[in-house]
Amino acid sequence: MMILITGGSKCGKSSLAERLLQNISENKYYLATMQPFGTEALEAIRRHRKIRREKQFVTIEQYTDIDKIQLPAHSAVLLECLGNLCANEMFRNDSIIFPVEKIMKNLKSLYSMTDILIIVTNEVGLDGISYSAETMQYISAMAELHQKIARISDTVIECVCGIPVVIKGEIPC
């Protein structure tokens, strides 16, 4: 099963994703994509590692190239978050690449190793503001990823004020 969870910042997406996996005790992985840039990020990563460990997640920190991850059969994976992964792939070198096809290929590879893949993402581009060319390319890539992932997902959920709103499918028990 593939589940896409989207919404604005601090709206309860991650908490929902973790709750969906709370009853799984084995082969439960948290794929963290936030790169540790700066003291604040390092502190957040430390805090998140502790919380995940308490919830019996094995954390895998992989900022790009998620197809290189090897998992045991019947794994459950929470990917946090697609926005970071897209930015990491897009701006990883001195040049900008449009990473949609690579990310989709890598997600399909990751999904083939799992029973459950939950992808947490952020809504970007809803503010109607025009940004720099690079940021607009990122917003465009995220929009395309959201559409493609939503099409192949069993369930799509938008979190609004901590309330999960089902867009497609149903919330698994």
Does residue 42 lie within any of the structural domains? yes
Q: Are 5 and 119 in contact (CB under 8 A)?
A: yes
DSSP designation for 160: E
Q: Quote the number of domains for the chain.
A: 1
Kind of pairing between the strands at 163-168 and 155-160: antiparallel
Which residues span the domain enclosing 142?
2-168
Does residue 6 lie within any of the structural domains? yes
Neighbours of 52 (CB within 10 A): 19
User: What pLDDT is stored for residue 25 in this prediction?
Assistant: 74
DSSP helix/strand/coil, 43: helix
Does residue 77 lie within any of the structural domains? yes
User: What pLDDT is stored for residue 154 in this prediction?
Assistant: 98
pTM: 0.93
Tokens 């970071």, residue located:
84
Does residue 173 lie within any of the structural domains? no
Q: Tell me the CATH number at 60.
A: 3.40.50.300
Q: What is the pLDDT along the chain (173 residues), one digit of tens a residue?
A: 999 999 998 899 999 999 999 888 789 999 999 988 888 888 888 888 888 878 889 999 999 999 999 999 899 999 999 999 999 999 988 778 899 999 999 999 999 999 999 999 999 988 878 899 999 999 999 999 999 999 999 999 999 999 999 999 999 87
Q: Are 63 and 33 in contact (CB under 8 A)?
A: yes
Does residue 76 lie within any of the structural domains? yes
Does residue 31 lie within any of the structural domains? yes
Cα radius of gyration rounded to whole Å, the chain:
15
Q: What percent of the residues of the chain are helix, what percent strand, and what percent coil, each to the nearest 5? A: 40, 25, 35
Q: Are 12 and 162 in contact (CB under 8 A)?
A: yes
